[in-house]
Amino acid sequence: MNQKFAQTSISLIARHLSIRSRIRTSNNMAFDLEDKLFSLSANGKVSELKSLISMSNIKLNASNQRGWTALMFAARNGHKDVVSLLVEKGANVEQQNGLGQTAYDIAAFWSQTAILSLLKQADTESQPTEPVHYFTVRHLDRANEKRKDLQWLKERLATSQLTTFILAFVKTFPVLTGDEKNYSVRKFLPKDLENFVDMENCEQSEIVFLGMRTNDETGKQECLFAVDISQETYTDIQAAFPNENLYVPKGLRDAFLLDSEEAALTGLAHSVLDWHRNCIFCQCCGYRTKFAHAGYKRECTNEDCRTVREVKNSSYLRLDPTIIVAVISTDKSKLLLAQGRRFIPNMWSCLAGFMEPGESIEDACRREVFEETGIRVGRVTYHSTQPWPFPTQIMIGLIGHATNTDITVDKSELSDAKWFSRSEVVQMMTRNHPHGYFNPPHNAIAHHLIKAFLHNTSSKI
């Protein structure tokens, strides 16, 4: 009976859609396509749907006035092939209609059991569940294979088309444009910098290739590079752009208001440029090193050096794995936070520390927490990670479960450490604490670990 009702209601919907589309004018092409997408999905016309998707630039997650998507129509009527096709082509299985139902909820309501298992599989397999932290580079094809292709790199830097952009850094800090409240990274075209940076000899100029990405507005592929320049060159560039307010922050933290994509690119470039700046001499033999692989390698110039004869990882940029942990009391009611000796006053954060060789992540966490506070941690679970470009750390975010309560503060690392109740943590997070205490901002993974404690958002708590 359900099926019969479904067919009737779907043909009503389809009729409604076609009436709607007839009264539209021709510049409503996109809506007409969407109507077609809905009705083909609702009616299980998989091959016609396939050609519609391949022939047009259709938005698969478009919804009608009630928030229904093509996936929901197909799920409602039990069209397995259509559901598989839409999921494969990238339909969002988590999207909700006006009543807050996902395609899965709709399939469950109409007892479309075959669809339920399909959507469940798609949900668990294709949807990333980890939070994406500030400084995480996304939507960038690092195009590793192009790093050794000098000819290709030179062509990209010689192009007069608006598809190559160079981020300039002064002693590893980014050149920004705008005012102090509303700024962005200045993306130079190669011709903007041709009088200041030798583009043809991109290896000698140490121009780092960051990767490629698609511009959302133009749909074109852009190549992104980064270059470190001296203070003098920067002064000349400023003079060449007299109508622009170019400036360089004193540190990366002074650019914390950059949007997340720009911050991530800036962080990546800063890490690489900082390494070049600090590794001009070989750590094995003391000879000069030279820039290679578009910035992802530094080779020793001494042919007899061990780093040239054998594979030595000192030729490549290293990361510092660093644990950071929200330690929760045995009764789960309190959170252990600390003030680092170099923190700004009144800021309380999670405990953190560098990993050492021969340690598992869990043991590094237990050691650091014990060293700094005397608290023993038993069970440790993973939360998420954050690239932290100061200069090249990877913060490994954890939840730790304490087995004792008495704190002994290591004064060489911390000014203080305390247990905080949930309500005090809320006061700190909302900046309403009576003593003016607060927690790190959203840019830092510490903020999200503290939030996980507050909202029990991590299944690991």
Ligand X SMILES: NC(=O)C1=CN([C@@H]2O[C@H](COP(=O)(O)OP(=O)(O)OC[C@H]3O[C@@H](n4cnc5c(N)ncnc54)[C@H](O)[C@@H]3O)[C@@H](O)[C@H]2O)C=CC1
303-362 residues near Zn ion, rule: CB under 5 A: 305, 307
Say whether residue 284 binds Zn ion (CB under 5 A): yes
Alpha-carbon Rg of the chain, whole angstroms?
A: 28
Say whether residue 41 binds ligand X (CB under 6 A): no
Q: Please, are residues 308 and 284 in contact by the beta-carbon 8 Å criterion? A: no
Residue 305 contact, options Zn ion, ligand X, Mg ion, none, Cβ 5-8 Å cut-off depending on partner type: Zn ion
| Binding footprint of Mg ion, residue count (CB under 5 A) | 5
Q: Which of 101, 48, 56, 54 is nearest to 79 (CA)?
A: 48
Say whether residue 440 binds ligand X (CB under 6 A): yes
Q: What is the DSSP letter of 141?
A: B
Residue 389 contact, options Mg ion, Zn ion, ligand X, none, Cβ 5-8 Å cut-off depending on partner type: none
343-382 residues near ligand X, rule: CB under 6 A: 349, 352-354, 368
Provide the 3-class DSSP secondary structure of residue 129: coil
Beta bridge partners of 188: 166
In whole angstroms, the minimum distance from the beta carbon of 147 to ligand X comes to: 26
Residue 284 contact, options Mg ion, ligand X, Zn ion, none, Cβ 5-8 Å cut-off depending on partner type: Zn ion
Say whether residue 265 binds Zn ion (CB under 5 A): no
Say if residue 391 is preceded by a cis peptide, omega within 30 of 0.
yes
φ and ψ at residue 269, rounded to 5 degrees: -65, -40
Smaller CB distance to ligand X: residue 52 or 409? 409
Say whether residue 282 binds Zn ion (CB under 5 A): yes
Q: Which of 67, 8, 17 is nearest to 39 (CA)?
A: 17
Q: What percentage of the chain's residues is helix, strand, coil (to nearest 5)? A: 40, 20, 40
Residue 316 contact, options ligand X, Zn ion, Mg ion, none, Cβ 5-8 Å cut-off depending on partner type: none
In whole angstroms, the minimum distance from the beta carbon of 445 to ligand X comes to: 4
326-385 residues near Mg ion, rule: CB under 5 A: 352-354, 368
- Residue of 6, 108, 212, 285 that binds Zn ion (CB under 5 A): 285
Residue 155 CB partners (closer than 8 Å, separation 6+): none
In whole angstroms, the minimum distance from the beta carbon of 310 to Zn ion comes to: 11
β pairing state of 221-229 and 164-170:
parallel
Smaller CB distance to Mg ion: residue 353 or 374? 353
**How far, in Å, CA of 74 to CA of 118, rounded?**
12
Smaller CB distance to Mg ion: residue 232 or 320? 320
23-26 contacts at long range (C-beta below 8 A, 24 or more positions apart): none
Q: Which of 90, 91, 118 is nearest to 104 (CA)?
A: 118
Smaller CB distance to ligand X: residue 248 or 352? 352
Residues 299-338: x where in contact with ligand X by CB under 6 A, - otherwise, as a string = ---------------------x-x-x--------------
